[in-house]
Structure formats: C-alpha cells, structure tokens
C-alpha cells in the first residue's frame, strides 16, 4: 500500500505518534542502533502533543491505519512548553541568519522527525519535509531545528533536504547543531 502523507486527525493518530517516538528514543536504543539508525531525544507527553497539534497540525505518514512516520512542528510561542527545549527556544532569539536574528524572521521549529525502521531509506523523511513546505510556505520563510551532534544519520538526512548548519552549542542535554532550511 502507498503511504498517505497527511496531518494527524484523531486521538489514535496522536497516540501512535507517541508510541513510535517511544520506540525510537535515545534512551530506548542500543549504542549501535543509535549510531546506525539515529534516534529522537525528547519524550512528549500526551498533553504536550495535543497542545502542539491544536496550534500547528502535525504531519505524519500512514500505511493504512498505521502511523509509520511523523514530523512534529512547534511555533516559537511554545518555547516554554517542554523544559528540555526551553534553552533551544531562548537561543533561537539570538541566533543570526543572514544578518538578522531568527526572532526577526518568520520561522517555526521542527520539534522532531521519526520514520519507522521498516520505512527508512525509502524517501519518507524527504516527503515529510516536502509536506511541511507545502503546508506552511508562504506563512513561514524558515524551518529551524536542532540536531544532536551524535545523530550523524539525522544530520545527513537534513542536509540532503536542504538544511544548513548555522550555529553549534551545548546545553544541559547534549551538543547541538542548529540547522535552517530557507524557503525564500
């Protein structure tokens, strides 16, 4: 069956996103799996994900009724929602992109991208990002995210889509590359 790229529409969709996230958390994977397959860092709660979805529809890929990939968007105004992400959002106000701070630009943040292991290497990651661009451009000029420097697979995948590293930093969680995908 062909994948359907859409946004979450039911509570079951959101629950499946959380289940896929749980399976791919850095803390749930072996060092070998993290190195070869990548990982996600933040564990969202049900309440956080529902709030995120109410403000910004969450993009996902489904195989029939099964969620097999997701790309979670967060608006800058959500910076206080998830404690582990507060330093990132504070930093975004100061990071420069083409001689202005991100705070002076129309941007949103990719909170997390995850593709089920069975669907990796088949272009799903790129399709999720293209769906984001289709939905959110021209409302936003930039899509910004942080990638753990230990997540080489994710860094390469983001570069393939068109993201470029604009800043590096360390916080209480990890070492990070701040990357941006400019749409204009």
Q: Which CATH number belongs to the domain containing residue 80 in this structure?
A: 3.40.630.30
pLDDT tens for 133-180 read 999 998 999 999 999 999 999 999 999 999 999 999 998 778 999 999
pLDDT value of position 1: 61
Per the structure, the complete domain to which residue 48 belongs is given by 4-182
User: Structurally, how many domains does the chain consist of?
Assistant: 1
pLDDT in the model for residue 44? 92
> pLDDT value at position 108?
95
- Sole residue written with tokens 């990796």: 120
Q: Given this model, what pLDDT does residue 174 score? A: 87
pTM to 2 decimals? 0.91
Q: 28 Cβ partners below 8 Å, 6+ apart?
A: 22
| Spatial separation of the C-alpha atoms in residues 141 and 183, rounded to whole Å | 5
For residue 139, the model assigns a pLDDT of 95
Which segments of the chain have a pLDDT < 50?
A: none
């Amino acid at each position: 069956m062909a994948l359907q790229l859409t946004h979450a529409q039911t509570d079951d969709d959101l629950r499946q996103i959380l289940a896929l996230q749980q399976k791919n958390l850095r803390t749930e994977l072996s060092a070998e799996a993290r190195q070869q397959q990548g990982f996600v860092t933040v564990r969202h709660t049900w309440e956080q994900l529902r709030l995120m979805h109410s403000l910004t529809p969450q993009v996902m890929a489904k195989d029939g009724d099964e969620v097999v990939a997701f790309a979670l968007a967060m608006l800058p105004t959500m910076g206080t929602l998830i404690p582990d992400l507060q330093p990132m959002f504070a930093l975004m106000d100061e990071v420069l992109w083409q001689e202005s701070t991100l705070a002076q630009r129309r941007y949103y943040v990719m909170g997390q991208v995850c593709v089920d292991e069975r669907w990796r290497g088949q272009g799903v990651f790129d399709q999720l990002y293209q769906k984001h661009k289709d939905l959110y451009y021209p409302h936003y000029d930039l899509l910004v995210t942080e990638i753990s420097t230990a997540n080489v697979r994710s860094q390469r995948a983001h570069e393939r889509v068109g993201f470029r590293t604009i800043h590096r930093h360390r916080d209480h969680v990890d070492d990070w590359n701040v990357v941006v995908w400019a749409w204009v």
